[in-house]
A and B are shown apart, each in its own frame.
Chain A
Amino acid sequence: MPDRPPLPLLRADALHKAYGSYHAVRGVDFRLMPESYVTLLGPSGCGKTTMLRMIGGFETVSSGRLELDGQSLLDIPAPRRPINTVFQSYALFPHLTVEENVGFGLAYRGRAGLGGDGRGLDRAAMRQKVATALSTVRMEQMAARRPRHLSGGQQQRVALARAIVNEPRILLLDEPLSALDRRMRRDMQIELKDLQRRLGMTFLHVTHDQEEAFALSDHIIVMNAGLIEQQGAPQEIYRRPDSAWVADFIGGSNVVPGRVLALDAGRARIGTAIGEVTAPARRGLAVDEAAALCIRPEQLSREAAAAPGAATVEAAVTHAVFAGSGWQVELRAAGGQPLSARLGEAPAPGETLRLAFDPARAWVTRGAAAGPRA
């Protein structure tokens, strides 16, 4: 990225966390750029929450470096890190009002710590800051209520206000939307993104929800088994998954296992159960290595509509589900390979279709059994 500012806000090098013989995070490197929205995406147990807790100061770092603005965080205890957290299920103080919750951290502002100026805030300044934070999340009407009298979405907003009122350098969000229903979740996604832009703050958001990560992020870090599988812009991860595991985890793609037959200038010829295809490929593949061909459902169409040069595959329809703008069709190709396609017209169940796709838009990546992580 050429327009990347030279200095990262947060920098992790070979970060490692072990609990006895269990290695939750096994040496990861990443940078958080200022004013960016970054998600740590991965299945449960992949180490993403442990990473967040190390950054927040709730877990010690077993080895590696963690720096904020070039200054090591390792010796700075959690209360003195200019980092705040929105906890899963919010962790609002039940015995305090909304206003008292939001103002909680202000009493400790200005103490000698990172970003502290040695002076505290006076009462009027605190009140002003609380009011501003509450209006930022549109909760000023609820200031005198107790958390248990608020809906999930309102509690979420208060938790956000309580964190941002301290003007942290980084806001950590631990699965913040997982307790909300689907509709609420979508609204809150928009609000979170909007809030991050308005405040110009760096958000680091942990989630296992791919859609959420795509909707929010400037940068996604995909984690698996304590290691980073891939990191980059959402489009990059979606279009060019670095491994069959990533393609499979972010979903939505047909991942057909195969073997590399030939390599040539950024392209690979891959042999699979549905035939041989030459498509753009990830760097670093080797001939005869296990690989996978990724074809997104919307790239498959009925053969009649196909452009010249298209690859074709024959498959029998197993399911067809009406999905508003089209039909989500599940098929089975040669060798029992399952395929998903997005078609304009409903196929008959059991019907055998000839589907076509443009190999130039498909992607060849590392296979499930390949690579140093297997």
Chain B
Amino acid sequence: MFRASALAASWTLLIFAFMYFPVAVILIFSLNDSEIIAFPLQGLTLRWYESVVSDGRLGGGFATTLMVAFPAAILSTFLGALAALALTRYEMKMKLKLVFAILLLLPFLIPKLILAVAQLILLSELGVARNLVTVTLGQVIVILPFTTLVVASVLVRIDRRLEEAAVDLGASAWSVFRRVTLPLMRNGLVAAMFIAFVLSSSEVVLTTFLSGRAQPLSLLVASDFRFAISPALNALAVLIVTGNIALVLVGEAIRRRSERGTG
């Protein structure tokens, strides 16, 4: 028994090492006091972080990212909430519901490159210029399945009897939603918005094809990693990863709090 679990533990560690070692390497080099990204390490420094924070070009990219990520997060959460309400609250035939769910989640399965190229072709056929609006709308399509699932996961946990109790006490459908369903799903909406924000800010493929001249941070990082690699890039990567993890953790904490509240 003990042996088996020791074996299992080493195996698990090995897998985690495989998953996270590359990221760890980036973390290490972001603190390495050398222009050259190679071993042996030369000592500890924070200068790469300083250069990231003081870089105007990166700052502009970050601003562009926010200009896309905020509306994308809000729009995809709003639409995801509507879809989740339809999935969990509408009385539909099972088959119809299944078709609805599959159509909603299909963007998961279509390679983003294909989605991106398809949208690009459509936009140029329609003569629509690519800008922050087109990239935002394009991102919403791929983020929508996530926000739908996050909000739906909160909705299915809300005891249906709470809504029935509101009806029983005389509330109309709209009052039930406003006074019971919405307050109880609010944390799910916040969690979905955090996740949508992270997904939007780290989206590269769609952004590349749809953003036009604007250069959000993700594109700057992608192109710098190919053409202008420097330890500062490692520092930037660490900042982005940390920020994303923090956002998702906060979102998840909020969602869990809502579970305890309703359970």
B166's nearest neighbour on chain A, judged by CB, is: A104
Q: Are A85 and B171 in contact (CB under 8 A)?
A: no
Inter-chain contact count A-B, CB under 8 Å? 69
A259 contacts the other chain (Cβ, under 8 Å)?
no
Q: Are A108 and B184 in contact (CB under 8 A)?
A: no
Taking the nearest CB of chain A, how far is it from the CB of B153, in angstroms?
Answer: 17
Interface size on A, residues (CB 8 A): 28
Taking the nearest CB of chain B, how far is it from the CB of A204, in angstroms?
Answer: 14
Complex Cα gap A163–B170 (Å):
11
Residues of B within 8 A of A108 (CB): 169-172, 175
| Chain-A contact segment, one of B9-17, B123-131, B156-164, B221-229 | B156-164
Q: Are B183 and A95 in contact (CB under 8 A)?
A: yes
B161's nearest neighbour on chain A, judged by CB, is: A91
Residues of A within 8 A of B175 (CB): 107-108
Q: Are B162 and A91 in contact (CB under 8 A)?
A: yes
Contact digits for A87-117, partner B, Cβ 8 Å, 1 yes 0 no: 1110111110000000011011101010000
Taking the nearest CB of chain A, how far is it from the CB of B261, in angstroms?
Answer: 5
Q: Among residues 164 to 184 in chain B, which have CB atoms less than 8 Å away from a CB atom of chain A?
A: 164-172, 175, 179-180, 183-184
Q: Are B164 and A79 in contact (CB under 8 A)?
A: no
Complex Cα gap A366–B183 (Å):
55
B262's nearest neighbour on chain A, judged by CB, is: A94
Residues of A within 8 A of B159 (CB): 89, 91
Q: What would be 15 A-B contacts, judged by CB atoms less than 8 Å apart?
A: A56-B168, A58-B168, A78-B168, A79-B167, A80-B170, A85-B165, A87-B164, A88-B161, A89-B159, A92-B165, A93-B165, A95-B184, A104-B166, A109-B170, A166-B170
- Extra inter-chain contacts (16) besides given A79-B172, A148-B261, CB under 8 Å: A56-B168, A79-B169, A85-B164, A87-B161, A91-B161, A91-B162, A92-B165, A94-B262, A95-B183, A104-B169, A105-B170, A108-B171, A108-B175, A109-B170, A163-B168, A166-B170
What is B's interface to A at a CB cutoff of 8 Å?
159, 161-162, 164-172, 175, 179-180, 183-184, 261-262
CB-CB nearest 3 A-B residue pairs = A108-B170, A105-B169, A91-B161
